[in-house]
Amino acid sequence: MPPDRRRFLAAGAALAAVGTAPAADDPKPTRPTRIGVSTYSFWQFKNEDLRDPEACIDLAGEMGFDAVEILHRQMKDESPGHLQRLKRRAFVNGMSLNGFSTHQGFLFPAREERQKNVDHTVKCIELAYALGVPTMRVNTGTWRTSKSFDELMKNRGVEPVLPGHTEEEGYKWVIDGLTACLKAAEKCGVTLALENHWGLGRTPEGVLKVVDAIDSPWLRVTMDTGNFLEDPYDRLEKLAPKTVLVQAKTYYGGGLWYTLDLDYDRIARMLRKHRFTGFVSLEFEGKENPKTAVPKSLALLRKAFAS
């Protein structure tokens, strides 16, 4: 073939490829986004008849979810047999266990208190491993200068630093505490994911300051769509490049503490732009009966993440 014709055909192929490629800022999903649900969506710290994670797993299966995220505080039984029953329960419902949501805090001046939280977190990593869960939500903890969680929410998540201490001290405590958990996380194959969840995690800058300082593949980000109470979209986007799990809030019936009108079409587009292909996990936090509100939430998320 003459050289000129080869060049002509090559140029034509290149133009055709450009014409058919998706726009860089609007990639099309390569497969359906998998939607899970946190057991917290059913229990909400108040519905005792829905506290049992096994009952929540069955409901999630009936409603058509792809996975279940287990809230550790919801578990009354941590025995090996119970953990394996939870794993089996998800399997027979055609679902996976996609997350383990835990609580810990490292904003304590006393080294002994911080070590207690390291030990607790390592224990939770081992529970996640037994459950076959690949990622575990972790927190910085709060300063505990609010009288109650209700007061913290009334103040939009803002609270004073402990008297006599500074935020910089707090960051060091959090970084040292989570670093001490990484060896167990790697051994168990459980990716820790720091959530934007009050304390030093109240801002994207705070979350990323910790994650970037530790700089480990075993510490990434859990993005909670409902924990930035003002201007959420730009703040959520800052977390997107390091996010491994998205917790998506809905508020049917009005929120327990506050209500956000979140644009999930916009959030889904933003996550696609950043090539997020992981699980989206519903956290229903409204006053409507979960048995009606959770299916509505699933439909909302399915529609947003399918478009």
Contact 134, 191 (CB under 8 A): yes
Q: Where are the domains of the chain?
A: 28-306
pLDDT, tens digit (0-9, with 9 covering 90-100), for 85-135 = 999 999 999 999 999 999 999 999 999 999 999 999 999 999 999 999 999
Contact 147, 160 (CB under 8 A): no
pLDDT, tens digit (0-9, with 9 covering 90-100), for 147-189 = 888 888 888 888 989 999 999 999 999 999 999 999 999 999 9
Is the alpha carbon torsion for 234, 235, 236, 240 positive or negative?
Answer: positive
CATH number for 28-306: choose from 1.10.760.10, 1.20.1050.40, 3.20.20.150, 3.40.50.410: 3.20.20.150
Q: CB atoms < 10 A from the CB of 181, how many?
A: 25
- Residue 27, pLDDT score: 63
